[in-house]
Structure 1
């Protein structure tokens, strides 16, 4: 039997689903997605999910996609403490500095 894969959705989509489920059911959300043209305000993230992904997320659960900042932090933290690793970490920090980007746990 194959393992059921959870869809990966954005944080905005996950927040919109959670907000809707505070006031409605999974069935109501699917029905609204099928019959409604557009979700507004705190539910707007639902607009960017196709119906099959939404159904899968509601049935099987979902994973939230990592933000670019989380991906950089994870990459940064994956380097150990060796001298060559410290050089790579310094290069990452310098690149972020030159781009004007601050990431908590990396250069902020």
Structure 2
């Protein structure tokens, strides 16, 4: 069995909207009309406005997404937040840090490194360093 296609959150939202408007079969037909037999985009038939990200999805991948399923890829920021949260201290570690007079008892040393790296790069990620 084939695996699910990975798509961005934006593409997943567009697919859901188009399924509601056209249904799966018409969505594939409409999408196929945007490409040549060789898979090259036909500019005058391409998706426009908010649907434009579909132009980066092949007809084959769209069909797989619709009939096999798709998985929404996390953005780099979402991946970082997930990683950051995995680095949290346990309650025992927090209590030990408080006893030892740790400057930031709620954060692990790994979390502090992530925060400092983001600050050094002047990059803000909500839920991590802003």
Name the counterpart of 1:57: 65
Q: Over aligned residue pairs, what C-alpha RMSD do you find?
A: 1.8
* Residue pair 1:19, 1:43 contacting (<8 A) in 2 also: no
Larger RCO of the pair (alpha carbons < 8 Å, separation 6+) = 1
When normalised by structure 2's length, the TM-score is: 0.72
Task: Kindly name which structure, 1 or 2, has the bigger radius of gyration based on alpha carbons.
Answer: 2
The size of the alignment, in residue pairs, is 105
Name the counterpart of 1:7: 5
- Hey, which of these two has a bigger chunk of helix by percent? 1
How far did 1:105 drift? 1.9
Q: For residues 73 and 17 of structure 1, what CA distance do their matches in structure 2 show?
A: 26
Q: For residues 62 and 40 of structure 1, what CA distance do their matches in structure 2 show?
A: 22
Matched, 1:27 2:49: no
Name the counterpart of 2:80: 72
Name the counterpart of 2:110: 88
When normalised by structure 1's length, the TM-score is: 0.86
| Runs of 4+ deviating beyond 2 Å | none
Structure 2, gaps ≥5 residues long: 35-44, 98-106
How far did 1:73 drift? 0.6
